[in-house]
């Protein structure tokens, strides 16, 4: 841990509009606690920034003292990169401003805002942009890694809707990055993670969505998983962009529309989100309701903001989490058999496998248009190991790795960078594919000393 004298810290505190916390001080433990309970790190100093000036000063402070620097926004990243041991954690979670321009259909969002906070403001005007599936996720980390959500088939990835950003680079300068200003930096931050600087403001394009949509769940027995997933695969090419259907394989939670005897049984659930005219929803959902004999279903009109929070109860902070992920062009019969077999030996009732059906506008963008390159991924699988007791670590991690290995022969070999765990640094190249060389060159230009390295790191060329 770095040696920070009391005099130095007091001098530093006087320069901030926000706060600086040392170990043992009130608020320190809360500030170092993040979503994944497997992460237990102790920074030498936590800076709770109040604005861009605090960010610029902290970046310079860490760089000039050659200190490890981590950046926290929502603290939701599976690898726990938000906090570091012995260095400085720059905490942006207090910077939560979300300003909506309903006429221009633009949003200006600070990096501490969560998806729920963004939706609260944007949905007041019936507007949205593609951002994730769990409302406690931070806008910043999700977007910088590429980002996708329930409306990506219609409107593309999160980075496809980013129109500009304010970025503090390693030299301590605040730059505006857009298609017309520092365009190479703008290209890099659209998928390149936190490798190129600290974003203090995001500017998004917005689209009319909701406030009411049609959606819900259809829950089938695991014994019907083959038929259900084959049916999803066969219907996928003909789905309108307004319709998104994801599959979730897990033990049935105690949902009120499921009979009590079903709770805890292995199931495959189809999560349906349709953002077209609500009255057309039942017709589009009908083929999905007839793929087998469901245990139960809950479909109908609902508020888009409510659907964005539908999976929150299964993703609350404080549990232990370990993920493994693949991208797929399709759902081969062999892959379906592998996943079905793995679900019969779940190591925890919270563990699940989700398969996000992408396609649509996300895949119509050229792979080199942004740093996010995985435009041929029609299905993104995340093996989500989740449990509470540290004594179960070995079993749950082993299960996730087993599923990953068994599914590998059917995968594209690429991966979504936000789903990489802390032990998967060797897969960073797979996250960026043909874009990696250009990213490494831009890293050399904007961060030659690799100050921003506490992440899925792109090393300077």
Tens of pLDDT, residues 97-140: 999 999 999 999 999 999 999 999 999 999 999 999 899 999 99
Q: Which sequence spans correspond to the domains of the chain?
A: 10-91, 98-209, 212-419
pLDDT exceeds cutoff 80 at 5: no
Q: How many helices (H) and strands (E) does the chain have?
A: 14, 18
Please give the biggest Cα pair distance in the chain.
70
Task: Name beta bridge partners: 353.
Answer: 249, 383
Average pLDDT of the residues in 84-95: 97
Pairing of strands 69-72, 88-91: parallel
Topology of domain 212-419 in CATH is: Vanillyl-alcohol Oxidase; Chain A, domain 3 (3.40.462)
Is 212-419 in the same CATH topology as 98-209? no
Residue 45 banded pLDDT, cuts 50, 70, 90:
very high
| d(C-alpha 177, C-alpha 166), whole Å | 6
| d(C-alpha 65, C-alpha 284), whole Å | 59
> In this prediction, what percent of the chain has a pLDDT beyond 90?
95
List, in order, residues 6 or more apart from 290 with CB less than 8 Å away: none
pLDDT exceeds cutoff 60 at 371: yes
pLDDT at 7: 74
Bond before 211 cis per omega within 30 degrees: yes
Average pLDDT of the residues in 427-436: 96
| Backbone conformation region of residue 202, classed left if phi is above 0, alpha if psi is from -120 to 50, else beta | beta
pLDDT exceeds cutoff 80 at 441: yes
CATH 3.80.10.10 fits 10-91, yes or no: no
pLDDT exceeds cutoff 80 at 367: yes
Strands annotated E in 259-388:
266-274, 296-303, 320-328, 352-357, 379-387
Strands annotated E in 112-206:
127-128, 162-168, 174-178, 198-205
Q: What is the pTM of this model?
A: 0.95
List, in order, residues 6 or more apart from 57 with CB less than 8 Å away: 15, 16, 172
Average pLDDT of the residues in 155-172: 98
Residue 3 banded pLDDT, cuts 50, 70, 90:
low
Average pLDDT of the residues in 239-252: 97
Angle in degrees, CA 6, 14, 57, rounded to 5 = 100
| d(C-alpha 232, C-alpha 168), whole Å | 44
Instruction: State the CATH architecture for 98-209.
Output: 2-Layer Sandwich (3.30)
Q: How many other CB atoms are found less than 10 A from the CB of residue 116?
A: 15
| d(C-alpha 270, C-alpha 268), whole Å | 7
The contacts found for 435-439 with CB under 8 angstroms, 24 or more apart, are: 435/191, 435/367, 435/368, 435/371, 435/373, 437/461, 438/368, 439/188, 439/192, 439/195, 439/371
Task: Name beta bridge partners: 107.
Answer: 100, 204
pLDDT at 2: 56
Pairing of strands 69-72, 379-387: unpaired
């Amino acid at each position: 841990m770095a040696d920070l004298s009391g005099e130095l810290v007091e001098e530093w505190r006087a320069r901030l509009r926000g706060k600086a916390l040392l170990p043992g001080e009130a608020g320190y433990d809360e500030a170092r606690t993040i979503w994944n309970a497997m992460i237990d790190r102790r920074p030498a100093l936590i800076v709770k920034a109040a604005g861009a000036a605090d960010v610029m000063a902290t970046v310079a402070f860490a760089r000039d003292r050659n200190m490890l620097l981590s950046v926290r926004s929502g603290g939701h990243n599976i690898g726990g990169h938000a906090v570091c041991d012995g260095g400085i954690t720059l905490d942006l979670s207090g910077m939560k401003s979300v300003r909506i321009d309903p006429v221009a259909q633009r949003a200006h969002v600070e990096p501490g805002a969560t998806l729920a906070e963004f939706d609260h403001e944007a949905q007041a005007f019936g507007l949205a942009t593609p951002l994730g599936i769990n409302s406690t996720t931070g806008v910043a980390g999700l977007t910088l890694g590429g980002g996708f959500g329930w409306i990506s088939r219609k409107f593309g990835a999160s980075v496809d809707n980013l129109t500009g950003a304010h970025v503090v680079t390693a030299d301590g300068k605040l730059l505006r990055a857009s298609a017309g200003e520092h365009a190479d930096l703008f290209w890099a931050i659209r998928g390149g993670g936190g490798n190129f600087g600290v974003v203090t403001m995001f500017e998004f394009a917005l689209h009319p969505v909701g406030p009411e949509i049609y959606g819900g769940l259809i829950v089938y027995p695991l014994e019907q998983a083959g038929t259900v997933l084959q049916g999803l695969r066969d219907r996928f090419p003909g789905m309108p962009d307004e319709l998104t259907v994801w599959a979730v394989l897990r033990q049935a939670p105690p949902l009120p529309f499921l009979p009590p005897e079903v709770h805890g049984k292995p199931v495959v659930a189809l999560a349906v989100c349709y953002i077209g005219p609500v009255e057309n929803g039942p017709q589009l959902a009908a083929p999905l309701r007839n793929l087998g004999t469901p245990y139960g279903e809950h479909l109908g009109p609902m508020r888009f903001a409510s659907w964005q929070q539908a999976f929150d109860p299964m993703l609350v902070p404080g549990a232990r989490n370990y993920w493994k992920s693949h991208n797929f062009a399709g759902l081969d019969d062999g892959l379906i058999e592998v996943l079905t077999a793995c679900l019969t030996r779940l190591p925890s009732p919270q563990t699940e496998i989700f398969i996000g059906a992408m396609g649509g506008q996300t895949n119509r963008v050229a792979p080199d248009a942004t740093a996010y390159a995985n435009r041929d991924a029609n299905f993104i699988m995340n093996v989500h190991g989740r449990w509470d007791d540290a004594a179960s670590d070995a079993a749950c991690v082993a299960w996730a790795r087993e599923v990953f290995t068994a599914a590998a022969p059917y995968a594209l070999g690429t991966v979504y960078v936000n789903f990489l765990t802390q032990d998967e640094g060797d897969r960073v190249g797979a996250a960026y594919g043909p874009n990696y060389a250009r990213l490494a060159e831009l890293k050399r230009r904007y961060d030659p000393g690799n100050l921003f390295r506490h992440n899925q790191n792109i090393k300077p060329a």
